[in-house]
Amino acid sequence: MKKIFKRFIAFVIIICGFWYMFDHIASKSKGEEVKESVLNFSKENKAETIENNDGDDKLVLVNEEHELDKNFKPKDLTIPNITFVHGTSNEEKHVSEIIKEPLEGLFDAAKKDGITLLGNSGYRSYKSQENTYNNRVKSQGENIADSYVARPGSSEHQTGLCIDVTNQKQSFVKGTKEAEWLDKNCYKFGFIIRYPYGKKYITGIEYEPWHIRYVGKDAAKYIHDNGITLEEYLEK
């Protein structure tokens, strides 16, 4: 009889142990669910703020910490009258309407100075950026991809306010006459070199002499004259 009683007590203790364990796991996952929904809520809020931007906000900040909603698309996409490098997709030939004329002016001024600039990649949808990023991860790994390709939603190309330019050799690197010309002159038309040399610790992106971003003439001149980034300009 004593034996049976002992077994019964042991059985109760085991059952209680299981009950406590399951309850603990359930409440923990419930807690995580709550945490996740709070995160989602704040993300959605943030995305909504940017989504409501009418596309004319030329100072919109897009980076890893300020992402665009995956449904964000500028309303007024148009193809500027510039020469594109062979192979540019139809989507990438588009830019936001407000940068069309400044961009054409920039390309014309370059031509007058004997510099040939070519359009390479303007607007890219969330989906295109996602493909570009995933392909780079596949070919070179996540670390390199993160240094050179923005994650979907954190690319300025989704705003239509920027464009990658190149030269005829398609080697638009530091020291080429085209890169130097662009660096010296793009601010006159309201553009900045968005990812300057030595500023990765601020922008999160390696030096990209080919990526110009429209911010309007006043901001571009200030940013150029002071050698700062858009992030620093917006915090001043």
Catalytic residues: 208
Per-residue string for binding with Zn ion, 29-68, x by CB under 5 A?
A: ----------------------------------------
Structure tokens given for 105: 């002016």
**Pick 94 or 211: Cβ nearer Zn ion:** 211
Q: Give the orientation angle of helix 177-185 with respect to helix 97-112, to 10 degrees.
A: 120
Question: In angstroms, what is the minimal distance from the CB of 211 to Zn ion?
Answer: 4
Displacement of CA 124 from its chain's centroid (Å) = 10
CA distances from 68 to 12, 61, 155, 232 (A): 55, 10, 8, 20
Secondary structure letter of residue 93 according to DSSP = G
Contacting range for Zn ion; rule: CB under 5 A; set: 6-14, 90-98, 107-115, 164-172:
164-172
CB of 156 to Zn ion, least distance (A): 7
Query: In sequence order, which residues have a C-beta less than 8 Å from that of residue 137 and are 6 or more positions away?
Result: 145
Stretch near Zn ion under the rule CB under 5 A, chosen from 15-23, 124-132, 163-171, 177-185? 163-171
Q: Binding to Zn ion (CB under 5 A): which residues in 189-218?
A: 211
Instruction: Give 69 or 164: the residue with its C-beta nearer to Zn ion.
Output: 164
Number of helices followed by number of strands (H, E) in the chain: 8, 6
Helix (H) or strand (E) holding 207: none
CB-nearer residue toward Zn ion: 100 or 211 = 211
Tokens of 115: 């510099």
Q: Cβ 66 to Zn ion, closest distance in Å?
A: 16
Nearest to 179 by CA among 200, 210, 220: 210
Smallest gap from Cβ 41 to Zn ion, in A, equals 31
Query: What's the CA gap between 157 and 122, in Å, rounded?
Result: 6
Could you say whether residue 164 binds Zn ion (CB under 5 A)? Answer: yes
Residue nearest to Zn ion (CB): 211
> How many residues at the interface with Zn ion, by CB under 5 A?
2
Query: Taking CB under 5 A as the rule, does residue 178 contact Zn ion?
Result: no
Nearer to Zn ion, 64 or 113 (CB): 64
> Contact region for Zn ion (CB under 5 A) — 45-53, 146-154, 157-165, 199-207?
157-165
Contact 136, 149 (CB under 8 A): yes
Short-list 90, 150, 87, CA closest to 123: 90
Nearest residue (CB) to Zn ion, 212 versus 219: 212
Residues lying near Zn ion in the complex (CB under 5 A) are found at: 164, 211
